[in-house]
Chain A
């Protein structure tokens, strides 16, 4: 391929901005926006995904755009890493735009404005991924933050939503400061902020470590790493569902992109203890995220915490890759990197699917509290069955896609070649145990999510009037569900596609090693060590199931009688007797009780109108944010002591300042 990839990506970005701007032309016309503009945006996304797919294996191409300040033009570069992330963006954006075409419009006051912000958001994310100098990167990064901020507060009449948006903006900017400093450190004072110059510069001493931790901090704020995760469970529920899907599915991944870019591409060296730090931070984040997901009662908050968990897993895998690479084990590092890239793609697909499914549920029921849903598989079979695919995929069950990345990551953990440090050698199996624990808890959380929303009896009488999603919403969900299955069943082909990224970042490849198996058998090291073939597993399970059905139905009569549920003969059953979301999460709450900040109100036995209430607070609020806020207020008060409001006092300050200066200048 000798297509001008950077030019084409720039064209796609421009096209998105134009489509968005067209929304402002007729801002109150839902038909124009949903029937014309969103499908156009989807077409651009599909084009971008196709382009990125063809460019992953191609050599890197760079160009300079005639944009930006006179001396600081925007540099753009498309290489394997950015192509991979562009592909993730394209796939998720395609599905989300199709879904949005069937979602926005009727309820929204100004769909045109939404359409504008939405497409600017997409364009900004694409720009972040292709930016090749710090200036362009930061401009795109800020544009992405601002566009998503406005999307989050699109229902700005609700005070909680404004508050969530403000929190998001605040943490995003604290993170951006970290990034700015990080780029400043890497370019090492030569004044050239292009990434090419940074690749060439070799900072010495502690500076690479400073740059790495600034990057981890800055990108961690965007990705939702502890302790900067608090915006995530606030902002995701506040945003409209397609926006939550994009934020969770793609925007968090731009932070992963940045982390990979800075660590493996821009920094000229990697140290093993960075890997340990990232591994530990990622695992703590993952465990925190999934435990908190288990006790949520709002379906979008639950998914937001689950996103924190997935990002934690990805960062842990990133730490592992870093560790192995620093010890000069590029093959195992490549397996770990492949695992996290695979997981990035998977998470973009199934989290988008689940967020969009919650969008359909909210559209149909106007409800997002788990305590008021239930039994929707009868009213909304399409959404329910497609969401089941996403649920099983995120729960990490073979033969779907979530399992493949989990499998690869565990392989990387398990085949720790003997590392020089025995302390690290001991650490890796313990980290593997934590990953496995998180994966098992994810199953718990997803059964809760799916069971409470779609199974059982409706918890509110209105739910029986819920209508299934329309054709556009449905086709977006079908696309994503099919992607879940295909990514799960053809891992060898997927890995062949994303392998050039290993070559770019680590200079090694898993493809030659994987060729020990064949197209059907995934064997990252060699087939004797470990192999996995989801296609065979799928075929065998389906064959056994069909065969069993056949045999059972041939040899025995198929009589079936419908009757009221038995429930051990309990006479009066109501929908209130099922587990609520709180009830389902209760065992986890009990086991992890020391980690929660809980407020519980137990009614007394004599209470005529008993109400049980429990609220769970994020411990980081009280333990981390409130002290910082207090410290800031205290500092402000101290500084306020200087301000007396009397002109004579201020003149005295000036006088003493002058005296002090004279002392120095002389």
Chain B
């Protein structure tokens, strides 16, 4: 492990922490444009997080330590994930410690902790949210893993940097297995980030909410961390998508400082396009009933498995 690799690792993590709220702000802005509303400021998520950090925390009387440690653990897990997914560089020392399977494991860790914390207070909404979150997770998690497996069958590795390097140097063409995987991945990302066909990030007091129901009891700095972690999760999923499907422009090899500097604007452009696409999907589709969600996610899972089989059949 060289100092340069370590620096690029830290730079990537810092970039993720800084850009994640901006991505959320950008998606919200696009959504507002698309529905003919005046958009809020692009920097609103930063201000929200800052405001929340300033406030007094209100914690339910019967909260156990799980409730208070959850935001930190989820935030930590999301930071780890941000360090693994190659967004600007592939020379990441930490990515050797955790491959694609471990990445899904980290998301599972965060999910389980959020669900447990939601059940901790013992409110109706909390346990409802926890149940639904785990319910969506049990289909989304295998689908995500299958998408990653398809890519790792192509590259012969489960290590994300190796996958990116292998995928970035193939002939530019439409690969059927990756096409299946891409559709599956889009569907999973929508579900996992509490986006519209499955959940609505802009709602409260609805019987249909999932993610918001789990964090109802949180306030102030705990809520700030959760919001930041949620933004990081969206950022991580976007970066996984970029790494698997449009991996061009990510700096490869060590000591590639020029490539590293160039990778940052490339990433920003890709994220901007991705965020706009997300807003477009959200605006164009209606929310599904919770019991239609298994069909949606089951389709994603089957598509991902199909992608894997197509890869084995056609070898591409």
- Determine the residue in chain A with the shortest Cβ distance to B56: A559
Instruction: List A contacts of B270 (CB < 8 A).
Output: none
Are A398 and B105 interface neighbours, CB within 8 A? yes
Q: Return the contact of A396 from the options B108, B124, B126, B205 (Cβ within 8 A).
A: B108
Are B156 and A529 interface neighbours, CB within 8 A? yes
Determine if A364 is an interface residue (Cβ-Cβ < 8 Å).
no
Q: Return the contact of B158 from the options A414, A552, A578 (Cβ within 8 A).
A: A414
Contacting A at CB under 8 A, from B123-158, are 123-128, 130-132, 134-135, 137-139, 141-142, 145-146, 149, 152-153, 156-158
Are A575 and B80 interface neighbours, CB within 8 A? no
Instruction: List A contacts of B176 (CB < 8 A).
Output: none
Identify whether the interface residues of B are mostly helix, strand, loop, or mixed: helix
Hey, what's the 0/1 contact readout for B247-262 against A, CB within 8 Å counting as 1?
A: 0000000000000000
Quote the shortest CB–CB distance from A57 to chain B (angstroms).
28
Quote the shortest CB–CB distance from A560 to chain B (angstroms).
5
Instruction: List A contacts of B94 (CB < 8 A).
Output: 536, 540
Are B105 and A544 interface neighbours, CB within 8 A? no
Determine if A39 is an interface residue (Cβ-Cβ < 8 Å).
no
**Stretch with Cβ within 8 A of B (4 or more), from A1-9, A213-221, A443-451:** A443-451
Instruction: List B contacts of A392 (CB < 8 A).
Output: 109, 112
Given contacts A378-B62, A398-B102, contact A521 B122 (CB under 8 A): no
Instruction: List A contacts of B59 (CB < 8 A).
Output: 560-563
A388 to B65, CA, bound (A): 12
Instruction: List A contacts of B79 (CB < 8 A).
Output: 544
A505 to B101, CA, bound (A): 28
Instruction: List B contacts of A570 (CB < 8 A).
Output: 123-125
Determine if B227 is an interface residue (Cβ-Cβ < 8 Å).
no
A406 to B105, CA, bound (A): 10
Determine if A629 is an interface residue (Cβ-Cβ < 8 Å).
no
Are A578 and B80 interface neighbours, CB within 8 A? no
Are A451 and B158 interface neighbours, CB within 8 A? no
Chain B interface bracket (under 10, 10 to 19, 20 to 34, 35 or more): 35 or more
Determine if B11 is an interface residue (Cβ-Cβ < 8 Å).
no
- Determine the residue in chain A with the shortest Cβ distance to B205: A568
Determine if A430 is an interface residue (Cβ-Cβ < 8 Å).
yes
Quote the shortest CB–CB distance from A159 to chain B (angstroms).
35
Contacting A at CB under 8 A, from B103-124, are 105-106, 108-109, 111-112, 115-116, 119-124
Besides the known contacts A444-B135, A587-B290, 12 further A-B residue pairs in the complex with CB atoms under 8 A apart:
A378-B64, A397-B108, A429-B309, A433-B308, A443-B108, A443-B111, A537-B80, A540-B97, A548-B225, A560-B56, A570-B123, A573-B123
Quote the shortest CB–CB distance from B16 to chain A (angstroms).
12
- Determine the residue in chain B with the shortest Cβ distance to A587: B135
Chain A interface bracket (under 10, 10 to 19, 20 to 34, 35 or more): 35 or more
Determine if A583 is an interface residue (Cβ-Cβ < 8 Å).
yes
Determine if A395 is an interface residue (Cβ-Cβ < 8 Å).
yes
Hey, what's the 0/1 contact readout for A533-553 against B, CB within 8 Å counting as 1?
A: 100110011101100110010
Are B61 and A564 interface neighbours, CB within 8 A? yes
Q: Return the contact of A561 from the options B57, B162, B312 (Cβ within 8 A).
A: B57
Quote the shortest CB–CB distance from A327 to chain B (angstroms).
16
Are B126 and A567 interface neighbours, CB within 8 A? yes
A507 to B164, CA, bound (A): 36
- Determine the residue in chain B with the shortest Cβ distance to A456: B122
A411 to B101, CA, bound (A): 9
Q: Return the contact of B142 from the options A436, A450, A536 (Cβ within 8 A).
A: A436
Determine if B96 is an interface residue (Cβ-Cβ < 8 Å).
yes
Q: Which 7 A-B residue pairings sit nearest by Cβ, starting from the closest?
A: A456-B122, A457-B122, A536-B97, A579-B127, A451-B119, A533-B97, A567-B123
- Determine the residue in chain A with the shortest Cβ distance to B224: A552
Are B80 and A540 interface neighbours, CB within 8 A? yes
Are A540 and B72 interface neighbours, CB within 8 A? no
Quote the shortest CB–CB distance from B48 to chain A (angstroms).
15
